Amino acid sequence: MKIPVLDLKPQYESIRADIQEAINRVLESGAFIMGPDVKLFEQEVAEYLGVKHAISVNSGTDALVIGLKALGIGEGDEVITTPFSFFATAESIGNVGAKPVFTDIDPKSFNINPEEIKAKITPSTKVIMPVHLYGYPAAMGQIMDIAKEYGLKVIEDCAQSFGARYYGTDSDLNSKFTGTIGNVGAFSFFPSKNLGAYGDGGLIVTNNDQVAELAKALRAHGAKKKYHNEMLGHNSRLDTLQAAILRVKLQHIDEWNEGRRRVAKTYNQLLADIPGIITPELADGHVFHQYTIRVLDGKREQVQQYLASQDISTMIYYPIPQDQLPVYQGQYPVNPMSIQLSKEVLSLPIWSEMTLDLQVMVVEKFIYALK
């Protein structure tokens, strides 16, 4: 039997009737662009996250680009971010004309190391952009303190962390959802994400009225009023069909994130005391978009190949840190921790409904492959 890295079918089967009803409603209405479900989804997701404004867009990448532009970021500005993320993070910064400045990561959380941020701040620094990688909330308490001290904005890349909550030591931010702590939060509804559409989709959230107004104009060709365009914008609206699907799925997100945490906890129990690996921390509020192990002693490729030969899919997020990708032609110095982790990380199959039997199969083969 093949074990994929993600199986979306059990989830679909559990909501099939509601999804088909939602799709039919949109098809019958004919309101495919900015139909009523878009507004309703925005209201419902804003209420869920406890944030004033939710502006839906065409993708997580667009949420980052439009979020940056709505914060006034552009040519000559520097944005401090993590090297260890999907390229959309750095790409969005470059696409608004700004320069990404990469700061190394903390090996426990895989996220930007707040201790190293201050050394990267220059007079051109405008924004810190943490990524809540794999669903593990970044160190928002320290990041917000630094932002306050230096007068910087914060935009959170929450593509992998829908429904994750931040908990820190002594922090008044405790239990806030990721995306609602900085000036802007950017979410992705790419189908494999924790809250996934059946196509592309994204969301910008903010508590700031001006930022929200600008983001709304930027997603619709820079027009606050139709045919009265005030600036260069984008065509980046969330399809009504996807909004209707997301309204159904939003009702289940807590239970699905709980399912992912349960699977992660079980993996950690099954893999406890196995030498040569480091299992991920079950941090409070973590929603395990990925369950990612560190495989030490240069054995990762051997393990991945053996598992593939046994029909078990695994993934490497990410084999090359963003700052070392060919696009940058070696212009950035290496960040040693991110390089090391890019050689060790291996993400095992995880989805909310994954059964114990499948997990035991994965773990048995994994342990065999390590020998």
What does the binding site for ligand PLP look like in residue numbers (CB under 6 A)?
Answer: 59-61, 85-86, 88-89, 131, 157, 159-160, 188, 190, 200, 202
Nearest approach in angstroms of CB 188 to ligand PLP is 3
Q: Which residue has the tokens 């192990």?
A: 293
Pick the closer one to ligand PLP by CB: 59 or 240.
59
Nearest approach in angstroms of CB 131 to ligand PLP is 5
Pick the closer one to ligand PLP by CB: 88 or 271.
88
Nearest approach in angstroms of CB 136 to ligand PLP is 12
Pick the closer one to ligand PLP by CB: 35 or 201.
201
The 8-class DSSP code of residue 220 comes to B
Distance CA 362, CA 315 (A): 13
318 cis-preceded (ω within 30 degrees of 0): yes
Per-residue burial over 102-140, b if 16 or more Cβ lie within 10 Å, else e, is bbbbbeebbbbbbeebeeebeeebbbbbbbbbbbbbbbb
Q: Is 294 helix (H, G, I), strand (E, B) or coil?
A: strand
Pick the closer one to ligand PLP by CB: 189 or 366.
189
Distance CA 129, CA 152 (A): 10
Helix 36-49 vs helix 240-250: angle between axes, to the nearest 10 degrees? Answer: 40
- Phi/psi of residue 122, each to 5°? -125, 175
| Strand partners for 295 | 277
Distance CA 106, CA 108 (A): 6
Q: What is the C-alpha R_g of the chain?
A: 21
Assess contact for 77 and 95: CB atoms under 8 A: no
The letter for the amino acid at 184 is V
Pick the closer one to ligand PLP by CB: 59 or 183.
59
Pick the closer one to ligand PLP by CB: 110 or 267.
110
Nearest approach in angstroms of CB 34 to ligand PLP is 19
Pick the closer one to ligand PLP by CB: 156 or 359.
156
Distance CA 321, CA 137 (A): 19
- Phi/psi of residue 131, each to 5°? -115, 135
Nearest approach in angstroms of CB 150 to ligand PLP is 24
Nearest approach in angstroms of CB 185 to ligand PLP is 12
Nearest approach in angstroms of CB 297 to ligand PLP is 28
Assess contact for 350 and 260: CB atoms under 8 A: yes
Nearest approach in angstroms of CB 348 to ligand PLP is 17
Short-list 80, 87, 85, 82, CA closest to 128: 80
Distance CA 318, CA 334 (A): 15
Nearest approach in angstroms of CB 81 to ligand PLP is 10
Nearest approach in angstroms of CB 369 to ligand PLP is 27
Positive or negative torsion for Cα 110, 115, 121, 127: positive
Pick the closer one to ligand PLP by CB: 246 or 303.
246
Pick the closer one to ligand PLP by CB: 131 or 271.
131
Find the residue with minimal CB distance to ligand PLP. Answer: 60
Distance CA 203, CA 370 (A): 41
Pick the closer one to ligand PLP by CB: 62 or 365.
62
Distance CA 63, CA 219 (A): 9
